[in-house]
Copies of this chain bind each other. A is one copy, B any other.
Amino acid sequence: MEPSRADSAPDPAVRRLSLYLRQLETFRRAGRHTVSSRQLGESLHLTDAQVRKDLAYFGQFGHPGIGYGVEELIGRLRGILGTDRIWNVLLVGAGNIGRALSDYRGFSARGFRVAAVFDIDPAKIGRTLGPFPIRPMSDLPAVAREQGARLAILAVPADCAQDVADQLIAAGVRGLLNFAPVSLNVPRGVAVNTVDMAVQLEQLAFQVT
């Protein structure tokens, strides 16, 4: 039995998969060909057992006595996460955060391509954000279909985030990366990931106090 995708891996394990991939790419840049669970773990402040267990949920990728092949494991993890192909991502919100994300190099380096930029503010329509024309929300259904976009980034003010989310979902988007400080309501089958910067700072304030 060698599931290319786990039947039921713990959620935290899936989150760490991304970190393993990121770290493996660093090892590869450093010219390493093989890495042990202990080394991979130490670089991320995790135990070796944790690393092995996480990877084992998804298959048998290691070589006893040797460790894991860096190149090999990168390929496996990409396959599991689904980033062995390019994802077109829609970006809504041409404000400060939208601008920063529209040409964030970290996205393209990891298989994500911002495909189009939208805004709800009529005053911004027709202007550009870097190389992107800012499009009205009315273009959304057509563009989403053309680009086959299943992911979107929400970089709009809190008070219109739910409304925009609804429109994105109606246009076929299945995963939302939300930068508005609100808890979104979405139907089953749609994934949401909210990044609230103020919450992040609050957590630090608590720990530092």
The residue of chain B having its C-beta at the shortest distance from the C-beta of A207 within the complex is B191
Residue A82 at the B interface, CB < 8 A?
A: yes
| A82 touches which of B22, B97, B193, B205 (Cβ 8 Å) | B205
Task: Give A150 to B107 CA distance when docked, in angstroms.
Answer: 30
Task: Give A181 to B76 CA distance when docked, in angstroms.
Answer: 20
| A193 touches which of B44, B106, B111, B200 (Cβ 8 Å) | B200
Q: Are B81 and A198 in contact (CB under 8 A)?
A: no
Q: Report chain B residues within 8 Å CB of A195.
A: 195, 197, 200
Residue A48 at the B interface, CB < 8 A?
A: no
Residue A124 at the B interface, CB < 8 A?
A: no
A107-B198 CB under 8 A given contacts A82-B209, A100-B97, A183-B45: yes
| A110 touches which of B82, B107, B202 (Cβ 8 Å) | B202
The residue of chain B having its C-beta at the shortest distance from the C-beta of A21 within the complex is B202
Given contacts A43-B183, A153-B201, 15 further A-B contacts (CB under 8 A): A14-B206, A21-B202, A26-B182, A81-B202, A100-B100, A107-B197, A107-B198, A112-B201, A150-B208, A151-B204, A175-B207, A175-B208, A177-B200, A191-B204, A191-B208
